[in-house]
């Protein structure tokens, strides 16, 4: 789950659970909570604001920073939520004069799940959201498994409104391959693609009860156990109080309705996005990546940088999928977007 010093885009869940799911056979589905009963459970633990979309669905979202500041829309990863921004980031965006606006995708938090959506459906939702907020202009920053949705918006949104555009630690399209990804991540992607439903049921078995419990301490206990399986450098980031609290909020939001939203998110990220990078006409997209990122590798991003028109690629030595979201770098990314003419 990626990023603001939180595990928010975990295709990234480098946890003990991931090792288990790729190394053991999946138990009988009779041992899992029924998918049909978890998809549409009451969203008692979901947080954030809600609007009604034109087709009757609900869209949940979150706001941080300066309510009168420069609008920046955040497109989250998987499993992730717009609730990611917490801890140091909220006061940071206030200092920078940024109004940080982060919608949840369908099936996450308060956003209505629907099974037939595709990556290319997302810009219509975001467009309706922007019109509801009455934003005359805005910037967009996307991350991790939110990259396909982010790039789909780059082609559709009016240029006079979308003033700047960036992607941090973003996954490449399916055709970019898996060069530079760790062996574990490559195995996970295979599981997501070929055993998607079983994997999500496994994840529900770990996170669902805690996510839907009114007491956040239940998820704190689950997450504290999971991060024991991360690399030491990532664990150092994720165990910090702000990052830990952010992750707990994220997983409660992701599984508030059950695992169906996460399920479909993973499925869509193991398929073509439905458009070609070379057809995107937005010039100067910013790409920020850590040289030590084994989830969304620099090789993926160099591939995208070659395909996107006049893309600006910047690599940060030694930074991982998690550590790249440290305060100083997030400030740099936002200043880059705000100052872009």
pLDDT for the residue 52: 97
Q: Apex CA 173: angle with CA 171 and CA 178, to 5°?
A: 70
Residue 327 has what pLDDT?
87
Output phi, psi for 58, to 5 deg. -100, 145
Mean pLDDT throughout 21-46? 42
**Which class for 136: exposed (0-12), middle (13-18), buried (19 or more C-beta within 10 A)?**
exposed
Whether 327 and 301 have beta carbons less than 8 Å apart is answered as no
* Domain 16-339 grouped into CATH 3.40.50.1820: yes
18 versus 102: the higher-pLDDT residue is 102
CB of 270 within 8 A of CB of 115? no
* Average pLDDT value for residue range 126-144: 97
pLDDT range class, residue 90, cuts 50, 70, 90? confident
Find the length of the chain: 341
Q: Could you give the CA distance from residue 327 to residue 297 in angstroms, rounded to a whole number? A: 21
CA distance 6 to 247: 5
Q: Give pLDDT, residue 231.
A: 78
* Average pLDDT value for the chain: 84
């Amino acid at each position: 789950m990626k990023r603001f010093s939180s595990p928010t885009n975990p295709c990234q869940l480098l946890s003990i659970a991931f090792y288990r799911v790729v190394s053991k056979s999946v138990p009988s589905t009779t041992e899992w909570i029924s998918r049909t009963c978890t998809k549409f459970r009451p969203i008692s633990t979901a947080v954030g604001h809600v609007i009604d979309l034109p087709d009757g669905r609900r869209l949940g979202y979150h706001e941080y920073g300066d309510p009168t500041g420069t609008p920046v829309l955040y497109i989250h990863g998987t499993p992730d939520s717009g609730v990611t921004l917490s801890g140091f980031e909220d006061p940071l965006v206030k200092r920078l004069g940024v109004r940080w606006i982060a919608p949840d995708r369908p099936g996450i938090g308060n956003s209505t799940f629907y099974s037939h959506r595709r990556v290319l459906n997302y810009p219509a939702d975001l467009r309706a959201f922007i019109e509801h907020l009455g934003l005359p202009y805005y910037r967009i920053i996307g991350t991790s498994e939110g990259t396909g949705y982010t790039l789909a918006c780059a082609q559709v949104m009016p240029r006079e409104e979308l003033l700047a555009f960036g992607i941090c630690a973003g996954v490449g399209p399916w055709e970019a391959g898996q060069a530079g990804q760790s062996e574990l991540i490559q195995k996970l992607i295979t599981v997501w693609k070929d055993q998607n439903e079983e994997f999500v049921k496994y994840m529900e078995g770990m996170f669902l009860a805690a996510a839907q419990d009114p007491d956040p301490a239940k998820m704190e206990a689950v997450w504290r156990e999971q991060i024991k399986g991360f690399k030491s450098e990532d664990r150092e980031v994720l165990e910090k109080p702000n990052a830990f609290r952010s992750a707990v909020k994220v997983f409660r939001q992701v599984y508030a309705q059950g695992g169906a939203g996460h399920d479909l998110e993973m499925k869509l990220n193991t398929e073509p996005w439905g458009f070609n990078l070379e057809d995107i006409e937005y010039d100067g997209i910013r790409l920020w990546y850590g040289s030590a990122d084994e989830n969304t590798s620099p090789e993926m991003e160099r591939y995208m940088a070659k395909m996107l028109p006049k893309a600006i690629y910047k690599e940060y030595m030694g930074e991982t999928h998690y550590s790249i979201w440290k305060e100083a770098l997030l400030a740099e990314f936002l200043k880059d977007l705000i100052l872009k003419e």
